[in-house]
Amino acid sequence: MKKLPLFALLVLAGRLNAQITITQTSMPAADDTIRYSSAAATGLSLNIQQKGASQSWDYSKLVANGQDIYRYAAANKTPYLLYFFNQIGLKTSDSLGAGPIMLKNIYSFYTKNATVFKQEGIGYSYQGFPLAAQNKDDDEIYQFPLKYGDSDVSTFNFRFAIPGNIFTYVQAGVRTNVVDGWGSIVTPYKTYPNVLRVKTLVNGTDSLITQFGKVPIPRRQVIYKWLSADEKIPVLEITGTETGGTFTANQIRFRDKYLGLVNPLRPRAGFVISKTSGFVTADTFGFTDRSRPFATSWNWQITPSVAVSFVGGTNAGSRNPRVVFRQEGLYNVTLVATNAFGSDDTTAPNAISIQYGLGNKGLKASSTSFYPNPSNGSVTMLRGGLLQVTDCTGKLVYTAEVVKNKAVELAHLPKGIYTFRLDGSKPEKLVLY
């Protein structure tokens, strides 16, 4: 076998261990599902100042204390396809906020191409409607190709306003990336022989704008990320602050396998209900949050939802809401409890039984056009004319010319509350049981 000269061997070895270049192919794509672990940011020597060429970083002693998954989806597979078209969506939260300002089903949307990976806005649901807030100036997270020694500076501006001008939230600032090292890294997950380290400085201001004025909050964040060409997220990401050249970590995440862990500070959803049965419109049900260790936002889902009314100034985002039911039946109750460390949900199937009865005084008021009310399906009209019957959603379910003192048979309709309108007169309620 022919031997290679010593010089050729050295050149080959240098090429095998040379730095990598990060491009758009190393960024997340639609349908990617990527697990990561979090670790405590205290009690460790992070040796964050180690940088330069051909480094060997050892973070094998990180101990995972929680896990989660990044799930990426094409924009047209999210509720926000009318706002984002070719972007990639990442669900970041089930719910955010409380009371009347409750946002649900929150996604961040990203675009990648040959020159950039950037964040373009968010999608969210407010009072059941899918909406979006798009960046005025996109946040360019990486600029490609990315290799050792590169640096870039970009600006970002994100403006988010709750419909009705309740308040406006603005994030604006400058993102600076410096690729300050390359080499190998060991994490609890695996050894990566070739990574780039990117130091990111986010220097900006978060502003809350209300009718009372503007409250600016400075935001200065330092993020160290180790990027591999083979992973779609940083193999290690350490976030914190830097003062006087001293870095203080407050969050550590790394690519990992399934460990069966959850963050101990993540809430465990739980609740109690004041009672389990009652009458249509006559009884009020109280729901009490018992989530532990704590939750900061709540999302109550009561199904079927069409006949559910939140009362007493409460809503689906209240911690302890109060509810009245407008139709008989069995109702399921679900609570999604959320805090900064994650979400949890619990469901009580067939938790509440509602029926029509003597308690429904408001529904038994005498009618000027028909009787009896409530009815088991046969209603006698006191006047003739064109009758239109709509259900509780406003859908027309029956129409006919009726004759005075003649019965109208409605037993084919499901039990519930209906609206009668005779010859365009004032609408009247009918209960079918």
Q: Is the pLDDT of residue 52 over 70?
A: yes
Q: What is the DSSP string of 136-200?
A: EEEEEEEESSB-TT-EEEEEEEEEEE-TTTS-EEEEEEEEEEEEEEEEEEE-SS-EEEEEEEEEE
> Mean of the pLDDT values across residues 388-416?
85
Q: Strands 277-279 and 342-355, how do they pair?
A: parallel
What percentage of the chain carries pLDDT values higher than 90? 49
The domain spans of the chain are 18-255, 271-355, 365-432
User: Residue 9 class from Cβ within 10 Å (0-12 exposed, 13-18 middle, 19+ buried)?
Assistant: exposed
Quick: pLDDT tens for 239-269: 999 998 899 999 999 999 989 877 778 899 9
Beta carbons of 408 and 381 less than 8 angstroms apart: yes
C-alpha distances (whole Å) from 385 to each of 126, 391, 411, 422 are 42, 20, 20, 6
What does the block give as tokens for 146? 């990315």
Beta carbons of 34 and 5 less than 8 angstroms apart: no
Beta carbons of 386 and 423 less than 8 angstroms apart: yes
Q: What is the pTM of this model?
A: 0.64
Q: Which of 131-140, 372-381, 416-425 has the lowest mean pLDDT?
A: 416-425
Residue 68, strand partner residues = 36
Q: Is the pLDDT of residue 99 over 70?
A: no
Rounded to 5°, angle at Cα 382 from 378 and 387: 70
The domain defined by 365-432 folds into Immunoglobulin-like (2.60.40)
Peptide bond into 372 cis (omega under 30): yes
Architecture of the domain delimited by 271-355: Sandwich (2.60)
Question: What pLDDT, on the 0 to 100 scale, is given for residue 98?
Answer: 60
Question: What pLDDT, on the 0 to 100 scale, is given for residue 396?
Answer: 84
Quick: pLDDT tens for 291-330: 998 898 898 999 888 788 898 889 988 999 999 998 888 8
> Mean of the pLDDT values across residues 176-201?
97
Q: Is the pLDDT of residue 17 over 60?
A: no
Q: Strands 329-339 and 342-355, how do they pair?
A: antiparallel
Question: What pLDDT, on the 0 to 100 scale, is given for residue 236?
Answer: 98
Q: Which of 126-130, 250-254, 356-360, 369-373 has the lowest mean pLDDT?
A: 356-360
What does the block give as tokens for 373? 């009310």
> For residue 424, what pLDDT band results from cuts at 50, 70 and 90?
low
Q: Is the pLDDT of residue 365 over 50?
A: no
Question: What pLDDT, on the 0 to 100 scale, is given for residue 341?
Answer: 79
